[in-house]
Every structure is written in structure tokens, then in C-alpha cells.
Structure 1
Amino acid sequence: MTLFLVRHGRPLVVPGEPAATWELDPAGFDEIWALRDRLPQGAAWFSSPEPKAVATCQLLTEGEVGVVDGLREQERGSAWVDDFEGAVRRAFAEPDVPAHPGWEPLARTRERVLRAVGSVRHVHAGEDVVLVGHGTAWTLVEAALTGAQPDPDRWARLGMPAVVALPEPLLSSG
């Protein structure tokens, strides 16, 4: 069994609107389609409910996709943050406090996302699973499932889209 964590494609950024409502940028569709051959079409597929994640799924598979609310990204409100990367790095450094007004503490994001991933892994034990979601959430999941610390530098380098494959032997009991 391999767990595939797919980060959504490039969004159409709308300042003043919550990132959770952003759609995909059609200019990035080719980058998403290029990932199709790296993902098992016969796997169990699940997506965050955010439009950019659902649309990424629709471009990657013809199969059924379950939408799992717990896979959504860290809640960040609608306020524009000029130093977004700095705020996310603060969230990693101090996960128990909001890194910016209106942001969900990263520890809460981690609990929610890991609970959702754990449920999917339990139901689909022994199967390949593809989860389509978000960079911060997947950074937390990858760290927890491999026994590592979340790496904000790795988060910063993660593309849109991107795939992280975690084969069963690399996964801890997380």
C-alpha cells in the first residue's frame, strides 16, 4: 500500500477572499495532467472539500472521489497576509497559537487532518490511497506518519501541484 499526498494545482488568488474558496488557475491544468501517470487510477481517491483540491482531483482521475471535510487546509480567514510565508513559518514554530489573527492553530489543523487520514487508511487498509489537498496539511501528515518533525523548508519548496508518495514500509503507526 502506498499513500499518495497530492497538493492541489495553482489557484486563482483572490485577495480579500478566503483561500479555501479559491478555484484552480486554468493556466496550470497541464501541470496537473502531467501527474496522472504517477498516480494509481485504481486507488481509493479522496479530496479536501476546497474547490482547488476537488478540481485537481477531477483533472487527475475519472474514478470516484470521496470528499472528506477533515482534509481541508489550515483555516486562515479572508484577511490578506503580506508575509504569508513568514506567518506559516510562525505557525510551524508555535503550533499551539494562531500565527495570524483569524488563523487556526496548526496543532488543531494537525489533529483534524491526521484523524481524517487515519480513518481513510483504516477503511482502505492494504490499498493504495490518493489524497488531494494542501501543502501545510500534507507537511504535517508526512511528518507524523514518518516520525519526523514538520519541515517548513520542505513546505516552502513544495510545488503546486506536487505528489509525495509514502510506501507502507516508510509509514509509522501514526
Structure 2
Amino acid sequence: MTLHLVRHGRPLVVPGTPAATWDLDPASYDDVWALRARLPVRAAWFTSPEPKAVQTAQLLTDGDVGVVDELREHERSGEWVDDFEGAVRRAFGHPDRPALDGWEPLDDCRARVVPAVRRILDVHGAEDVVLVGHGTAWTLVAAELAGERPDLDRWAALRMPDLVTLG
């Protein structure tokens, strides 16, 4: 069994609205399609309910994709953040509290996402699994499954879209 964590493609950013509501930017479709060749044809597929993730999954497979609410990204308000990377780094530095007003503490995100991933892996343990979602959530999942601290340099290097494969 191999776990494939796909970060969604580049979204259409709408400042002042929560990122959880953003759609996938049609200009990123080619980048998303390029990932298809790196993913298994036969796998159990699941996605976050966020539009950009669902739309990414729809471009990556012709098969069924389950939508799992708990796979949504670290919840953040719709306020524009000029130093987004710095805010996320603060969130990882103090995961027990919000990095900014309106942001979910990372401990809460981890407590939601990791058990959902573990349940999926328990049910589909003999199959490859593809999860389509988000950079911060996948950083937490990868660290938890490896028994390590989150790798913030790896998080910062993630592209949209991107793929992290865990064996």
C-alpha cells in the first residue's frame, strides 16, 4: 500500500473570502493533468470538500472519489495575510493556539485530519490510497505518520499542485 497526498492545484484567489471557498484556477488545469501519470490507475480516492480540492481530484481520475469533510485544510478566516508563510510558521511554532484571529489552532486541525486519514488507511490498507487536499494538512499528516515533527521547509517548497508519496 502506498499513500499519495496530492496538494490541490492553484486556486482562483478571492481576497476577503475564506480560502476554503476558492475554486481551482482553470489556468492550472495543465499542471494538474501532468500529475495523472504519477498516480496509480487503481486506488481508493478521497478528497477534501473544498472546491479547489474536489476540482483537482476530478481532473486527476475518471473513477469515484469520496468526499471526506475532515480532510479540509487548516481553517482560516477570509482576511488577507501579507506574510502568509510567517503566519503559518507561527501556527506550527505554537500549535495549541491560533496564529491569527480566526485561524484554527493546528492541534485542532491535526486532531481532525490525522484520524480521518488513519480510518481511510485502516479500511483500504491493502490498496493504494490517493488523498487530494491541502499543504498544511498534508504536512501534519506526513509528520504524524512518520512519527516526526512537521517539516516546514518541505511545506514551504510544496507547489500547487504537488504530490507527496509515503510508502
What is the TM-score with the length of structure 1 in the denominator?
Answer: 0.95
Unaligned runs of 5+ in 2: none
* Aligned residue type for 2:111: E
* Alignment correspondent of 1:27: 27
Q: CA deviation at 1:163?
A: 0.5
- Distance, in Å, in 2 between the alignment partners of 1:92 and 1:104 is 11
Residue equivalent to 1:172: none
Alignment-mate amino acid for residue 66 of structure 1: G
* C-alpha displacement of 1:30: 0.5
Query: For the residues of structure 1 that align with 2:91 and 2:50, how far apart are their CA atoms?
Result: 21
Structure-2 separation of matches of 1:92 and 1:30:
32
Q: How far 1:102 sits from its partner (Å)?
A: 0.5
How far apart are the structure 1 equivalents of 2:79 and 2:68? 25
SS at match of 1:139: helix
Q: What is aligned with 2:57?
A: 57
Structure 1 equivalent of residue 140 of structure 2: 140
Compute the displacement of 1:144 (Å): 0.6
Identity across aligned pairs (percent)? 70
Give me the TM-score of the superposition, normalised by structure 2. Answer: 0.99
Alignment partner, residue 170 of structure 1: none
Q: Report the equivalent of 2:102.
A: 102
Partner of residue 3, structure 1: 3
CA distance in 2, matches of 1:166, 1:82: 32
- Aligned pair count reads 167
Residue 150 (structure 1) shift: 0.2
AA partner of residue 124 (structure 2): H
Residue 6 of structure 1 aligns to a residue in which SS? strand
- Name the SS of the counterpart of 2:3 in structure 1: strand
Report deviation, 1:83: 1.0
SS in 2 for 1:16: coil
Residues 104-133 of structure 1 show CA distances to partners (whole Å, capped at 9, x for unaligned) of 000110110001101100111111000000
Alpha-carbon deviation of 1:147?
A: 1.5
Q: CA deviation at 1:23?
A: 0.4
- Per-residue CA shift, 1:77-106, capped at 9, x if unaligned? 111111111100000100000000000000
SS in 2 for 1:46: strand
Name the CA distance, whole Å, in 2 between partners of 1:20 and 1:42.
28
Structure 1 residue ranges, 4+ long, deviating more than 3 angstroms after superposition: none
User: By how many angstroms is 1:35 displaced?
Assistant: 0.5
Residues 68-147 of structure 1: matches in 2 within 5 Å? Answer: 68-147=68-147
| Residue 157 of structure 1 pairs with residue 157 of structure 2 | yes
